[in-house]
């Protein structure tokens, strides 16, 4: 088990994670970051523009290990799905 810090940031601001979270590995930290992003977007009642926002996952020496980007496109309805159209068929 290892402590990971998930810093939420944009070009203009950083919300530093001073506590961190203890997880089994970097893959678990990635899943945690994706969950944080999902919760931020789902709880966003003001429809903020999340472009440029990301979560930097760092270890206990403050070394960046991974950056997880917020999505750049917003779905208008939660149940809306993107349609895949095969090319050349």
Confidence (pLDDT) at 3 = 97
Specify if 80 maps to a domain.
no
Residue-range definition of the domain harbouring residue 20: 2-69
Which of helix, strand or coil describes residue 7? strand
Specify if 82 maps to a domain.
no
Dist CA 21 CA 19 (whole Å): 7
Specify if 77 maps to a domain.
no
Report the number of distinct structural domains present in the chain.
Answer: 1
Specify if 41 maps to a domain.
yes
Specify if 59 maps to a domain.
yes
Beta bridge partners of 89: none
Tokens of 31: 């899943």
Specify if 58 maps to a domain.
yes
Contact 62, 83 (CB under 8 A): no
Confidence (pLDDT) at 70 = 92
**Predicted TM-score of the model (pTM):** 0.76
Confidence (pLDDT) at 89 = 39
Dist CA 51 CA 73 (whole Å): 8
Segment-wise mean pLDDT, segments of 10 residues, the chain, 89 residues: 96 95 96 93 82 94 95 60 53
């Amino acid at each position: 088990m290892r402590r990971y810090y998930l810093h939420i940031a944009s070009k203009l601001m950083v919300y530093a994670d001073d506590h961190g979270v203890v997880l089994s590995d970097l893959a678990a930290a990635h899943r945690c970051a994706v969950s944080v992003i999902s919760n931020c977007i789902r709880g966003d009642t003001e429809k903020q523009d999340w472009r440029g926002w990301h979560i930097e996952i760092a270890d206990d020496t403050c070394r960046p290990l991974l950056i997880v980007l917020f999505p750049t496109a917003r779905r208008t309805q939660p149940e809306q799905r993107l349609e895949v159209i095969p090319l050349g068929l």
